[in-house]
Structure 1
Amino acid sequence: MAWHQLSVVTDEHTAPELSDFFSELGAVSVTYSDAEDEPVYEPAIDQTQIWSNTRVTALFELDADPDVVQTLVVNQFIGSPLRLWLTEVIQDQAWERAWMEHFHPMQFAGKLWVCPSGQEVDEPDQVCMTLDPGLAFGTGTHPTTALCLEWLAGHDLHNKVMIDYGCGSGILAVAALLLGADHAHGVDIDPQALTATQYNAEKNRVLDRISYYLPEQFSLAGADIVVANILAKPLIELASTISALVKPGGYLILSGILNEQAQSVADAYRAWGLQVAEPVSQEDWCRLDAWKPA
């Protein structure tokens, strides 16, 4: 099956209305992308990122006429910036499998492997987690996730209870269980993340040792290890909540932090009685390792 793909560059004020109008005209999907080189590392929670120059791309069934769609858009948005129109016919494909061609087994701390289905590693003294791209963020390819996996794989997790705060795909919780943790608790604001966590736990045969919750459903305190791989702003806002989850003598691993944000995040957690080590960096990102005195 083939599709018409129609896209145009506009500003951040027009993009949302243009997206809605494309949908009214029958678009089966509409996406945003950066039309220039304007990296934005930390949008607000629950906010869809729109750049000052945003390419809005709409996908239509093949019986649609892209020339007619473009004319209707131009007439609807007179006076609004609309430039660099692009139209092409694209062939349907298994997008998830196509992405997985670029997703290969990755090793962390010389011990933990994260592998797509069909590429599992079976070697002595190695732990292998099977993980495919899915509903929620987290495959180990991003530095923030990789930094957390390195910590987990480098520590003895046996007889430990772990909380994965902002669990996404559940990759960190599942990894902890495969590495020997007794039980893991996944918490996320996105119900799809909880669905992905359940799926990945079942795929790796650890579903009986994991629980998952929306934040308002979660009340456990006193875990041996708490990992929060989110972003600096919510980490600071949630410092009191997350700190309270760590039992005396327990560890707190914070990630999703740009190098220049490390000091402000560390200060927020020191204010709640935690000891925080120097940042561990990978590319532009860093991890903060903290612990609560016994």
Structure 2
Amino acid sequence: MPFLELSLRCRESEQPRYERALDDVGALAVTMLDADADTSNEHAILEPGVGETPLWDSITLTALFPHDADALLLLAALEAFDPELDWTQAGFRSVEDQDWERAWMDQYVPLRFGERVWIVPWNCDVPTEAQTPEAAVVRLDPGLAFGSGTHPTTALCLRWFDALAADGRLQGQTILDFGCGSGILALAALKLGAAKAVGVDNDPQALIATHDNAERNGVGDALTVHLPQDEPPAATYPIVVANILASALDALADLLAARVAPGGHIALSGILDGQQDALLQRYAAWFDDLYVSIDGDWVRIDGVRRAT
């Protein structure tokens, strides 16, 4: 059965209002895409922060309606629901029914980060280059909910773990993934040789996704997940990664610093280029050897916790 599809580009800050309006007038499904991303590369999807939805500058919203819906009546209803929203750029087309989830997944291909880390969608075969004992292969389904694909913020962290493993600093360690989302970083660390991983997120659905992904990747016994209030308050870790937002990294600096054991390593990501100076100054209170890595418009800061 065909559907009537509405598509509209909007700012990220407006997305919840547009989505509520579409739901109110009877959309059968609403999806979100990064309007500026090339979905064939690793920058297509953002790994969100703690309990955050994807934070892209511009979003393409796509909504499906029954094929016999009247486009003009839909627009009138949408304008009535929230008169301040601009629907003048909305486009309509008729689309044939298909397996939407499979069509979405088929856009993605295996990606390599550093020397050893591979993120391979479940619908893809593991590449020949990744079929070696040294390869750290994480299998995930592409999706929007928790960033199963990778944005530069996540790519920066995956490369950091790859470098730690190459230096032998990850082997047998316990890592904290603060703002774990899909668990992609924790899973990569375990595949690279970490003994245990702890995932923390304030969204219960993220914890479910992380746990399920760990089970499917055969490392469920090595990973535990917690809401922030349930994590042991005095716990420290030799390796901590926080791929969230710059504002959250600033607000949580004391907490994150307290989670890193003396001599331990931290990586902070989710930082736009230009935001790093304030965070460098903030984290210099606890960390030495602070180093900045840049991928496009995004930044990772890593450092070593000094003894107190």
Q: TM-score range by the shorter chain?
A: 0.7 to 0.9
Tell me if structure 1 keeps the 8 A contact 2:268–2:300: yes
| Residue 222 (structure 1) aligned with residue 236 (structure 2) | yes
- Cα shift at 1:187: 0.5
Gaps of 5+ in 1: none
| Residue number in structure 2 paired with 1:143 | 152
Q: Please name the residue that 1:274 is paired with.
A: 287
CA separation of 1:150/1:60 partners in 2, compared to 1, >3 Å: closer, same or farther?
A: same
Larger Rg: 1
Structure 2: gaps spanning 5 or more residues: 37-45
Instruction: Name the aligned partner's letter for residue 199 of structure 1.
Output: D
Counterpart of 1:233, as a letter, is S
Deviation, structure 1 residue 234: 0.4
TM-score (norm 2): 0.80
* Aligned mates of 1:158, 1:44 — CA distance in 2: 26
2:299 alignment partner AA: C
The CA deviation string for residues 249-280 of structure 1, in whole angstroms up to 9 with x for no partner, is: 11111111112111111111113x21242301
Residue matched to 1:265: 279
Q: Deviations over 1:202-236 (max 9, x none)?
A: 11100001000111111252101000011111001
Determine whether 1:123 maps to 2:132.
Answer: yes
Contact 2:119 2:139 in 1 (8 A): yes
2:288 paired with 1:283 = no
Q: Matched residues in 2 for 1:48 and 1:261: separation?
A: 19
Q: Distance in 1 between matches of 2:50 and 2:174?
A: 30
| Aligned partner (choices 264, 267, 270) of residue 250 of structure 1 | 264
Q: How do residues 228-247 of structure 1 correspond to structure 2 at under 5 angstroms?
A: 228-247=242-261
SS in 1 for 2:205: helix
| More moved, 63-72 vs 241-250 | 63-72
Q: Deviations over 1:43-74 (max 9, x none)?
A: 997588798x9876542122422233234445
> What SS does the aligned partner of 2:291 have?
coil
Maintained 8 Å contact 1:43/1:49:
no
Is 1:25 the equivalent of 2:12? no
Q: How many residues align?
A: 289
Alignment of 1:1-294 (within 5 A): 1-7=1-7, 19-30=19-30, 58-73=63-78, 81-117=86-122, 118-120=124-126, 121-134=130-143, 136-139=145-148, 141-155=150-164, 156=168, 157-219=170-232, 221-271=235-285, 273-294=286-307
* Relative contact order higher in (CA < 8 Å, ≥ 6 apart): 2
Partners of 1:54 and 1:128 in 2: CA distance: 30
Q: CA 1:90–1:252 in 2, change beyond 3 Å: closer, same or farther?
A: same
Residues 226 and 46 (structure 1 numbering): CA distance in 2 closer, same or farther, change over 3 Å? closer
How far apart, CA to CA, are the structure 1 residues paired with 2:163 and 2:190?
14
Matches of 1:242 and 1:192, distance apart in 2 = 22
Q: Secondary structure at the match of 1:93?
A: coil
Q: Does the aligned pair in 2 maintain the 1:186–1:211 contact within 8 Å?
A: yes
Give 3-state SS (helix, strand or coil) of 1:138's partner.
coil
Is the contact between residue 8 and residue 89 of structure 2 (CA under 8 Å) also seen in structure 1?
yes
User: Residue 30 and residue 135 in structure 1: after superposition, are their counterparts in 2 closer, same or farther (change >3 A)?
Assistant: closer
Indicate the RMSD between aligned Cα atoms, in angstroms.
3.5
User: Which range moves more in the overlay, 99-108 or 132-141?
Assistant: 132-141
> CA offsets, 1:93-139, max 9 Å, x none?
33333233332222222122221224223124222221221464334
Between 201-210 and 111-120, report the one with greater CA deviation.
111-120
CA contact (8 A) 1:9 1:82 kept: no
C-alpha distance in 2 between matches for 1:167 and 1:14:
25
Q: Partners in 2 of 1:12 and 1:25 — Cα distance?
A: 21
| Shift of residue 83, structure 1, vs aligned partner | 1.6
Percent identical residues = 40
Describe the SS at the equivalent of 2:69: coil
